[in-house]
Amino acid sequence: MAKRIDVKDLNIYYGKFHAVSDVSLTVLPRSVTAFIGPSGCGKSTVLRALNRMHEVTPSARVEGAVLLDGEDIYGATIDPVGVRRTIGMVFQRPNPFPTMSIRDNVVAGLKLQGVRGKKELEEVAERSLRGANLWNEVKDRLDKPGGGLSGGQQQRLCIARAIAISPDVLLMDEPCSALDPISTLAIEDLISELKKEFTIVIVTHNMQQAARVSDQTAFFNLEAQGKPGKLIEIDETEKIFSNPSQKSTEDYISGRFG
Ligand SMILES: Nc1ncnc2c1ncn2[C@@H]1O[C@H](COP(=O)(O)OP(=O)(O)OP(=O)(O)O)[C@@H](O)[C@H]1O
Ligand SMILES: [Mg+2]
């Protein structure tokens, strides 16, 4: 549970395009790290490289190392499917299987892993839905389709699905961007709960959200269009939002650009 991530000299390319240059950072166990920065600076690209999700994009290529508790997830003997089991991901738009029941949505990953026992699947579904703070809202309609939930409920359903396979790390790419303010606060509360158990990295365009939920914040920026995105600085969230080391960070968080 809750492992440390060390990213070393990460360079990411899409074909010949150098999207992200020389990113190194550390994420401590049981903490929340926020990635902020203007559109196109490579936040999602770096996030996807943390669980090898970029490998579903044929042109994408990663150089450098991502260590999970000292072991390189890009190591020759490492299975990417296993990596994604250890490092789960929640996407920007809730993407439950719409016609599948709420319960089956939660345990879909476990079923793929070959878990068949009805009792075990029911237990994991309940535990995960409780963990995602959705249980009370859906416990009487577990056999109804996941597509029938509200947007905020669907996003929590996707979080339940992600935690059902007991990952160590949860990656979230703008998980609240499709949600109303109340659902957003529900997810933020949930993130604060989840960090007791998981290591969390979240991409957000919402500065208040980064300030509210994260322990450390990484600011990424682009020098110019066509140039690779860079990590400008990473520090305790309080420091980034009160007294950042770099002028471009200050300009960004105070809304002078981006
Ligand atoms: N599949 C892809 N193929 C080619 N180029 C890509 C691909 N995905 C991203 N890029 C490019 O890589 C750069 C970084 O994109 P990325 O999506 O990581 O930015 P981002 O910081 O997440 O932006 P946003 O805030 O808009 O989500 C951009 O120039 C983008 O156009
Ligand atoms: Mg993005």
pLDDT in tens, 17-26: 999 999 999 9
pTM to 2 decimals? 0.94
Q: Whose CA is nearest to atom 25 of ligand 1?
A: 39
Is the CB of 82 within 6 Å of ligand 1? no
Q: Give backbone dihedrals phi and psi of 63, rounded to 5 degrees, phi first.
A: -120, 150
**For the residues 62-78, what does the mean pLDDT come to?**
95
What is the pLDDT confidence band of residue 183, given thresholds at 50, 70 and 90? confident
Residues 203-242 have pLDDT tens digits of 999 999 999 999 999 999 998 888 999 999 999 999 999 9
Residues 11, 26: Cα–Cα separation, whole Å: 16
Is the CB of 244 within 6 Å of ligand 1? no
For a mutational test of ligand 1's pocket, the pick from 11, 13, 44, i.e. the residue with the most ligand atoms closer than 8 A to its C-beta, is 44
Rg over CA atoms, the chain: 18
**Closest Cα partner for 178 from 69, 96, 58?**
96
Report pLDDT for 2.
Answer: 66
**Closest Cα partner for 12 from 2, 3, 4, 21?**
21
What is the pLDDT confidence band of residue 182, given thresholds at 50, 70 and 90? confident
- Is 30 in contact with 45 (CB distance < 8 Å)? no
For a mutational test of ligand 1's pocket, the pick from 14, 23, 206, i.e. the residue with the most ligand atoms closer than 8 A to its C-beta, is 14
Residue 257 has pLDDT above 90, yes or no: no
Residue type at 219? F
How many CB atoms sit inside 10 A of residue 90's CB? 23
Is the CB of 228 within 6 Å of ligand 1? no
